[in-house]
Amino acid sequence: MTIDSLPIRERSVVAFDCETTGLHVEKGHNIIEIALVKHNPDGSVEEWSSLVKPTKRISPSNQAIHGISPSMVEKAPSFDDIYPQLQEFIKDCILVAHNSEFDVGFLKAEAERNNLPVISDDLVVDSLAMSRRFFGFPRNNLSVVSHRFHLMTPHAHRALPDARNTIYIFWAMLEDIEQRTEKQLTVSELQELCEKYHKRGEYKKNIARTITQAKREKRRISIDYISRDPSKPIRTRRELEITKWDSPHLEANCMLRGEPRRFHLKQIQRAEFTTEVEQTEPDLSIAAEPTTDYEPVSEVSSESET
């Protein structure tokens, strides 16, 4: 059985993060710090990190972000020195990065410059894509998503703390997604779901179709809605009577709250017809209390799709 055909929970997962001299790999910017945090199936955690001596100078704007100065990396090992340790650490593991295109891009570029084996991104999962597709928070950077899952983010923008945060939010998001799908997912299944949950993907199109049909036929729908308020549950379930549908905004009477509310399509993660005609109690397995993050109809949202 291949690694990508096994449930993610049965494999070791490594979150990784890179700090760099600049933001543009195509301009030859270098990795100056890399960190790996491994979560094993038995629950144990391993960590590895290293500063890396660059061949290009650290841009002042990037130094202001991560706080790594030229003097800190002057005597650090070179990338080709640390690469064998990195390869051994991630062997047979699933890789996770927040904005993996950035981190994997730098790893590949550094390996190519040094004539070293380039890692495959077949088993790379992007936690940024997971956040955007499955949760649709107003902002999806690492600090915001970590805070939404009740994780403090001290020393953000250093590789090891960011890798720790990434592994934490990955497991938190995966648990929520697997509750929705009612199965343990493989990497390929998770990646496929990410595509379906894209704002222009089939899943969102089906949600829009359901809303359109419900509006036309004057039927109630039940939705799962992502809360923007960190003090509330991630998802809440509500039964609605639609009054206006102007995608991506939905105006409806919320049966639980007994008042009109406005919802944004990117935060709706499920929409199904309901046959109930009487007001129903909330599903307490999803929301323990009413939320207040919905927009009153009188307010106009400036929120746009991510």
For residues 109 and 113, give the distance between their C-alpha atoms in angstroms, rounded to a whole number. Answer: 6
Closest C-alpha to 231, from 296, 150, 120, 176: 150
DSSP letters along 200-215, please?
Answer: TSHHHHHHHHHHHHHH
Residues forming beta bridges with residue 51, ordered by sequence position: 33
pLDDT mean over 203-232: 91
| Percent of the chain clearing pLDDT 70 (strictly above) | 88
**pLDDT of 43 over the 70 cut:** yes
What pLDDT score was predicted for residue 278?
43
User: 3-state DSSP call for residue 225?
Assistant: strand
For residues 306 and 144, give the distance between their C-alpha atoms in angstroms, rounded to a whole number. Answer: 14
**pLDDT of 117 over the 60 cut:** yes
User: 3-state DSSP call for residue 46?
Assistant: strand
**pLDDT of 299 over the 60 cut:** no
pLDDT mean over 209-233: 91
- Catalytic residue IDs: 157
**pLDDT of 51 over the 90 cut:** yes
pLDDT mean over 284-300: 39
pLDDT mean over 32-37: 98
pLDDT tens per residue across span 15-33: 999 999 999 999 999 999 9
Top-confidence residue, 254 or 294: 254
What pLDDT score was predicted for residue 292?
39
What pLDDT score was predicted for residue 2?
58
Helices (H), the chain: 60-66, 70-73, 79-90, 100-113, 127-134, 142-148, 159-181, 187-196, 202-217
In the numeric block, the tokens 């005609």 are attached to 277
**pLDDT of 280 over the 70 cut:** no
The number of CA neighbours under 13 Å toward the Cβ of 267 is 24
Closest C-alpha to 183, from 194, 174, 191, 192: 174
Question: pTM score, two decimals?
Answer: 0.83
pLDDT tens per residue across span 59-94: 999 999 999 999 999 999 999 999 999 999 999 999
What pLDDT score was predicted for residue 4?
66
How would residue 139 be classed by pLDDT, with cut points 50, 70 and 90?
Answer: confident
What pLDDT score was predicted for residue 294?
42
**pLDDT of 291 over the 50 cut:** no
How would residue 129 be classed by pLDDT, with cut points 50, 70 and 90?
Answer: very high
